[in-house]
Chains A and B, each alone.
Chain A
């Protein structure tokens, strides 16, 4: 089974800061990775798919990069509405399985 290791588990940052979150896969996963944002009491919302493609309607300050085993989500200039928990999600087609990272809680400094 593929394991996804996400870091850090939490971070404190200020509005305007550049924030980077990393996910490492236990084996190569090509670009079968997405990034999700979850706010309290809400369902997760996809930000990035196929490792680096921006979901329609998502602000351009969010970007994803990487392939193979190491992936990064970057928020170029943190905004007040970005304080949330972020998850990476690796997906397989056959069998249809998903693996989440442990999550990164982004808090206000």
Chain B
């Protein structure tokens, strides 16, 4: 089955770190750029970060630049998002995605 499955979300205090993971299956993972997208409660979709198939090109939204780091392991068919210095405004459902395929998301709540 073609799917993306996120994990690693949870409740974290402001200023702390969290690492999200995304497991891909059913397609040739290293053929595709991969992305993280988030959606705050009741809000629209916000692109967070993207990484090319070979990790040679990476992009970040201004809102997370310098705090978040995207990476991938093609041998493990996995995508990651290291989130440091978390803020309340980072609270959202985080989706792993490639063009045309999205996971179900993992919820990150930043609160004291």
Contact = CB atoms under 8 A, between A and B. Distances in A.
B46 to A, nearest CB: 7
Contact of B103 (A43, A49, A85, A100): A43
B95 A96 contact: no
Interface stretch (B17-25, B52-60, B83-91): B52-60
Interface magnitude class on chain A: 20 to 34
A44 B46 CA distance: 12
Contacts of B64: none
Given A44-B45, A103-B45, A95 B37 contact: no
B44 A96 contact: no
A49 B100 contact: yes
A96 B59 CA distance: 6
Interface in A64-87: 85, 87
Contacts of B100: 34, 46, 49, 55
A65 to B, nearest CB: 19
Interface string A88-101: 01011111111110
